[in-house]
């Protein structure tokens, strides 16, 4: 951080979010952001100015000067960094907790000229503990918007992008709003290195490990007791994909998880189960196909189903990974290797 007593171009304007024009010859400009209240400054800058350091490292060609409750940016990305701080002010004013991971995602959005305040303040659901489920990236926001808008939504992307978790959140939201009468969660019971025949128990006990991620997401939303009540009443049904054949699912929110492990025939079977008043979300990661022979039901599906009204595809990327940052790096490394 620069010396706070050092004069900065644009500071004399005294206005929030004022960008000074570049000087003649294409020189970088400046921007002044006035934060409405000193109490917000500590949240914006972080302990020991740690969050400010993250911003300065992300935009090395831009100088950030802090004076009281004013933030002055100057350099080649002065306006973008200034807009970033304006967005951060909106987030902290609305109670959003800033940490390094959230800040880095916000920076990614600012670089893409997106509005973090529109993405990160969109409320999907309040969990049984009072926590708020929100999209954490612009891709996730597009995903939940598509689910709300379409009858069938495909969420395609790598591990850690929240495909299943957000789909379950949207399903619980629809159930609580009485838009549907039940939730149906299903996955193909495809073996990934372990034979079903060697697992103990009956068929449901054998497929339970494959359905566990959906159970976990449901527990996050409504709690273990709430999930158990839903399951006992049949309000939530969890079943392997094979159990869907021959059924018509009306007034249901249906989630097909790990769809890359369906065959084309299974995918067609699933999509033709959708009845009146129902909505379906299909999630998958085309880089993790375990189906025998590698012939996935997601292959070329977008070209087959293009131009169908009420059906949408949302592609998530490593930018939308919300697990530890190393997961994003691993996804990118595998993508580079596959490209080579």
**Lowest model confidence (mean pLDDT) among 27-41, 200-214, 249-263, 307-321:** 200-214
Does 21 score more than 50 pLDDT?
A: no
- Spell out the domains of the chain, with CATH numbers in brackets: 11-120 (3.30.1370.10), 125-339 (3.40.50.300)
Residue closest to 173 by CA, chosen among 136, 217, 139, 137:
217
Cα dist from 298 to 52, 209, 264, whole Å: 43, 23, 7
Q: What is the DSSP string of 187-237?
A: E----SSS-GGGS-SSHHHHHHHHHHHHHHHHHHHHHHHHHHHHHHHTSEE
Average confidence (pLDDT) over 294-298: 85
Give percent of the chain with pLDDT exceeding 90.
46
The Cβ-side half-sphere exposure at 306, using a 13 Å CA radius, reads: 4
Per the prediction, the chain carries an average pLDDT of 83
**Lowest model confidence (mean pLDDT) among 44-53, 117-126, 246-255:** 117-126
Residue 292 buriedness (CB in 10 A; 0-12 / 13-18 / 19+): exposed
pLDDT of residue 325: 67
Does 172 score more than 90 pLDDT?
A: yes
pLDDT band at 2 (very low <50, low <70, confident <90, very high): very low
Average confidence (pLDDT) over 275-287: 94
pLDDT of residue 7: 35
pLDDT of residue 259: 93
Tokens of 192: 């990934």
End-to-end CA distance of the chain: 41
pLDDT of residue 159: 85
Which residues, 6+ apart, have CB-to-CB distance to 228 below 8 Å?
Answer: none
pLDDT of residue 319: 83
Torsion of CA 313, 318, 320, 325, to 10 degrees: 160
pLDDT of residue 117: 85
Q: Is the dihedral of CA 226, 284, 252, 123 positive or negative?
A: positive
Distance (Å, whole) CA 45 – CA 47:
7
pLDDT band at 183 (very low <50, low <70, confident <90, very high): very high
Residue of higher predicted confidence among 188 and 3: 188
């Amino acid at each position: 951080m620069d010396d706070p007593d050092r004069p900065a171009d644009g500071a004399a304007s005294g206005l929030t979010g004022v960008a000074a024009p570049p000087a003649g010859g294409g020189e970088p400009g400046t921007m002044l952001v006035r934060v409405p209240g000193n109490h917000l400054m500590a949240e914006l800058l972080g302990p020991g100015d740690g969050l400010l350091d993250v911003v300065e490292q992300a935009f090395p060609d831009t100088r950030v000067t802090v004076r009281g409750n004013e933030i002055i940016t100057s350099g080649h990305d002065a306006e973008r960094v200034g807009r970033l701080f304006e967005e951060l002010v909106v987030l902290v004013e609305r109670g959003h907790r800033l940490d390094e991971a959230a800040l880095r995602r916000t920076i990614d959005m600012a670089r893409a000229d997106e509005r973090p305040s529109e993405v990160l303040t969109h409320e999907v659901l309040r969990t049984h503990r009072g926590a708020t489920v929100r999209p954490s990236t612009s891709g996730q926001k597009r995903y939940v918007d598509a689910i709300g808008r379409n009858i069938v939504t495909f969420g395609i992307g790598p591990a850690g992008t929240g495909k299943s978790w957000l789909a379950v959140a949207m399903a619980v939201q629809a159930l609580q709003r009485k838009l549907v009468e039940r939730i149906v969660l299903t996955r193909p019971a495809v073996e990934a290195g372990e034979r079903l025949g060697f697992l103990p128990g009956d068929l449901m006990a054998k497929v339970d490990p494959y359905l566990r991620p959906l159970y976990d997401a449901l527990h996050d939303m409504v709690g273990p007791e709430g999930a158990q009540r839903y399951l006992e009443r049949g309000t939530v049904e969890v079943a392997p994909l094979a159990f869907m054949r021959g059924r018509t699912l009306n007034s249901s929110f249906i989630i097909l998880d790990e769809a890359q492990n369906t065959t084309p025939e299974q995918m067609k079977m699933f999509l033709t189960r959708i009845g009146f008043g129902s909505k379906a979300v299909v999630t998958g990661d085309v880089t993790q196909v375990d189906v025998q022979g590698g012939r996935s039901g997601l292959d070329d599906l977008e070209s087959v189903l293009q131009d169908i009204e009420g059906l949408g595809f949302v592609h998530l990327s490593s930018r939308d990974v919300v697990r530890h940052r190393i997961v994003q790096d691993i996804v990118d490394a595998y993508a580079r290797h596959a490209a080579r």
